[in-house]
Amino acid sequence: MTPDPLPSAHQLLAFYLEAGVDCALAEEPANRLHDPEVAPKEAAKNPASPSLEQARPVRPAFAPAPAMPAEPMPSPDAAIASAREAARTAPSLEALRSLLETFDGCALKSTATRLVFADGNPKARIMFVGEAPGREEDIEGLPFVGRSGKLLDRMIAAIGLDRNAAYIANVIPWRPPGNRTPTPLETQICLPFIQRQIELVDPDILVTLGNPSTQTLLGTRDGIMKTRGRWLNYDTGTRSIRAMATFHPAYLLRSPSYKRMAWQDLRAIAKALAQTTP
């Protein structure tokens, strides 16, 4: 049998990226297979085995070891119940942020670099909610600071505003590893926090960006093509907030032909804001 050809450096990097290994831990590469703690023991155990140089690594040499949560994770039901209880009792946005900093019910916290709570003005009349932070957001601790964030800034400018007059958050406040889609359980656990965040900001208009945040917050199973551009209601339990879904900026970057529709949505939002007395 002919052995598979060794992958090229480009293929390996593409594989690492796909697996979520998207940043280097150090400036210089480190060959962990030459780690004296490991190599001599392995070689002594089986002298007939191929040299460590020839052996294929079972784990990428510079992939970070998976972070282990310090405590065992609570059961899904217990995590959702404690998220609800914690979020319900937060009297302010600062308190909510502190609660999230100490909340250990969501496994995403252990793989993310930091909490990505919000950006913008907590007194804003308009609030935008995306899905989950990506790599740049995870590094900076602020939502929408990467490429899609730059487009979101232009979308906000199309309404005649900037980040000082808008509030921006995500349904999920921790980056899922490798930007994978959050699981339904992770979404359920994080939901009470974003619901409380919306309640505390209490905007005149809520804009959900893309399918996941629209379906999660506005309780619809319809796709974004159907939901976008229509006025819906978001019920906080004590008040009804006007809500509109539009395309996620990351989607618009991939499919620029939908920008025309997104800009129609933004015009409708600008008009509604102008008609709502501050």
Residue among 117, 128, 144, 167 that touches ligand URA (CB under 6 A)? 144
Stretch that binds ligand URA, among 74-82, 96-104, 136-144, 267-275 (CB under 6 A): 136-144
Residue among 79, 87, 100, 131 that touches ligand URA (CB under 6 A)? 131
Choose between 32 and 114: whose C-beta lies nearer to ligand URA. 114
What's the token pair of residue 225? Answer: 């093509």
Q: How far is the CB of 119 from ligand URA (least distance, A)?
A: 9
Q: How far apart are CA 198 and CA 243, in angstroms?
A: 11
Q: How far is the CB of 132 from ligand URA (least distance, A)?
A: 6
Residue among 105, 134, 173, 182 that touches ligand URA (CB under 6 A)? 134
Q: Counting contacts by CB under 6 A, is residue 143 touching ligand URA?
A: yes
Q: How far apart are CA 85 and CA 103, in angstroms?
A: 11
Q: How far is the CB of 87 from ligand URA (least distance, A)?
A: 20
Cα-Cα-Cα-Cα dihedral sign, residues 234, 230, 215, 142:
negative
Q: How far apart are CA 101 and CA 103, in angstroms?
A: 6
State the alpha helices, DSSP H only, in the chain: 9-18, 39-45, 76-89, 93-102, 108-111, 135-140, 147-158, 184-201, 210-218, 224-227, 249-254, 259-275
Q: Which of residues 147-176 bind ligand URA (CB under 6 A)?
A: 148, 170
Choose between 131 and 265: whose C-beta lies nearer to ligand URA. 131
Nearest residue (beta carbon) to ligand URA: 130
Choose between 12 and 171: whose C-beta lies nearer to ligand URA. 171
What's the token pair of residue 8? Answer: 């090229």
- Pattern of binders to ligand URA over 234-273, x per CB under 6 A? ----------------x-----------------------
Q: How far is the CB of 109 from ligand URA (least distance, A)?
A: 16
Sole residue written with tokens 């406040």? 173
Stretch that binds ligand URA, among 21-29, 49-57, 70-78, 141-149 (CB under 6 A): 141-149
Q: What is the dihedral of CA 85, 88, 94, 100, to 10 degrees?
A: 30
The kind and range of the H/E element at 170 are strand 167-170
Q: How far is the CB of 167 from ligand URA (least distance, A)?
A: 13
Going by C-beta distance under 8 Å and a sequence separation of 6 or more, which residues neighbour residue 94?
Answer: none
Residue 19 to residues 16, 25, 61: CA-CA distances in angstroms? Answer: 5, 16, 14
Q: How far is the CB of 118 from ligand URA (least distance, A)?
A: 10
SS3 27: coil
Q: Which of residues 91-130 bind ligand URA (CB under 6 A)?
A: 130
Which residues here bind ligand URA, judged by CB under 6 A? 130-134, 137, 143-144, 148, 170, 250
